[in-house]
Amino acid sequence: MTPAAPRILLVNPWIHDFAAFDFWAKPMGLLTLAAILRLHGCRVSYLDCLDRFHPCAPPADPLARNGRGAYPKTRLGNPPGLEDIPRRYSRYGIRPAWLRQDLAALPPPDLILVSGTMTYWYPGVVETIAALKTAFPKVPVILGGIYATLCPQHAAQVCGADRLLTGPGEGRVLDLVAEFTGFTPERRFDPDQLDSYPYPAFDLQRQVPYVCLLTSRGCPFDCAYCAARYLQTACRKRRPAAVVAEIRHWHDAFGVREFVFYDDALLTNSSAHFRPIMEGVIRAGLAVRFHTPNAVHIREIDDPTAELMMRAGFETLRLGLETTAFDARAAMDHKVTAHDFQRGIGCLKRAGFDARQIGAYLLAGLPGQPLAAVARSIETVKAAGITPVLAYYSPIPHTAMWPAAVASSRYDLAADPIFTNNAILPCQKAPFSWERLSYLKNLAAA
């Protein structure tokens, strides 16, 4: 006898941090798993502990700020080991009472899936899983995502999940459902073919102010500070026509205008991939806007690409610059030269983009990085007529820079991911200083 279709609950956990904001942040992996489970007949429910549009939350306009906005937050005490940090640590997301109410309204699930992203956000994962276990003490909980993949031993010790799912979960989630529930549907997609995937289940949200897009997976670069190659070992791309069809789906069916690229390498092989996507959007006459918070590679920008970006509706462009110390960046990456930088900026300006739209990420707080080096990069970016955007470095296990980060930190980074929080500038021997942080912020904003 075939078991009845199981009830699967997917949960996006709280964030515990000194600062958090919805800069087009969605648990795309979790929503993709929800779509796969739904495609195969599972009865799927979704709860978002970061839901800005929860009925108990203050009213928020989903169309403001191109879909971005502040999370509700509740002040917490600083975690152990960070008592000396003069910043306010908070829970970001809905109130615990609201979650309890939502859980009480659900029929008991057969399996719960939770995703964890930033490694130092794990206290929010711990609190979320504890709440789930209180509501459904006999239901197994599986934790996946970036945190579980990068820090599996730590996650297994502290988070309270019954099982970890490390690495990409799309090809394994149905096997886990079969193991825990006995439900074994015939597979209706190919995990190795991105175009066979169902669209992520953004429709499970209360509001769909924006949709995140993955037109590819993996990255051909191997930057010392980034774990992309560890998290996704292979580079794969979707067919441009399939990406355009997804954009049209969300625009026509849900009225979505804001689209956010999550690709690690959106512009690589642009003539065969990115440009056909943009040409398809233009031909379809879609009134949409595009944003690239994950950054694009500057050396891939030329005049035809920049012109297509402008015509297709690009609104927010973030460039992966990291530093303007071009002669000394070999230990970090090989993504961009001084010539690439100036040429790329020129292409974007000729296409009609202005400084408000173009921002260049600059890493601050790297191991051994002098404050003056960040200041020089800020000034160089401003002199180029675009906006410097500070990105504070968070040490990541399994990256080439991790040993240097461990050696330069005033904390024991390997002992606890809480110490890798970029808000505390962990790779400086000196105590946290608001003066140094404010100097850089003011310099970038001037």
The C-alpha R_g of the chain, in whole angstroms, comes to 22
CA angle, 37 as apex, 32 and 40 as ends, to 5°?
Answer: 130
The pLDDT of residue 327 is 85
Phi, psi of 371 (to 5 degrees): -55, -40
Please state the domain extents for the chain. 7-181, 210-445
- What would the CATH number be for the domain defined by 7-181? 3.40.50.280
- With 0.85 as the threshold, say if the pTM is over it: yes
How far is the CA of 91 from the CAs of 11, 74, 99, 103, 271, in angstroms?
Answer: 16, 5, 13, 19, 44
Phi, psi of 303 (to 5 degrees): -60, -45
Of the candidates 91, 97, 94, the residue with the CA atom closest to the CA atom of residue 79 = 91
What's the first-to-final CA gap in the chain, in angstroms?
69
Residues sharing a CB contact under 8 Å with residue 248, sequence separation 6 or more, in sequence order:
284, 286
Is there a contact between 219 and 263 (Cβ–Cβ < 8 Å)?
A: no
Q: What is the DSSP letter of 94?
A: S
The pLDDT of residue 13 is 98
Print pLDDT tens along the chain (446 aa).
567 899 999 999 999 999 999 999 999 999 999 999 999 999 999 999 999 999 999 999 999 999 999 999 999 999 999 999 999 999 999 999 999 999 999 999 999 999 999 999 999 999 999 999 999 999 999 999 999 999 999 999 999 999 999 999 999 999 999 999 999 999 999 999 999 999 999 999 999 999 999 999 999 989 999 999 999 988 999 999 999 999 999 999 999 999 999 999 999 999 999 999 999 999 999 999 999 999 999 999 999 999 999 999 999 999 999 999 988 888 888 889 999 999 999 999 999 999 999 999 999 999 999 999 999 999 999 999 999 999 999 999 999 999 999 999 999 999 999 999 999 999 988 888 888 889 999 999 98
Is there a contact between 385 and 357 (Cβ–Cβ < 8 Å)?
A: no
**Residue 186: how many other CB atoms lie within 10 Å:** 7
The pLDDT of residue 1 is 54
The pLDDT of residue 313 is 97
Angle between helices 371-383 and 434-445 in degrees, nearest 10 = 10
- What gap in Å lies between CA 2 and CA 207, rounded to an integer? 36
Site of tokens 């051909």 = 220
Phi, psi of 25 (to 5 degrees): -110, 115
DSSP string, 393-441: ----TTSTTHHHHHHH-SS-TTT-GGGG-GGG-TT-SSPP-HHHHHHHH
Domain 210-445: which CATH number of 3.40.50.2300, 1.10.3720.10, 3.30.470.20, 3.20.20.70:
3.20.20.70
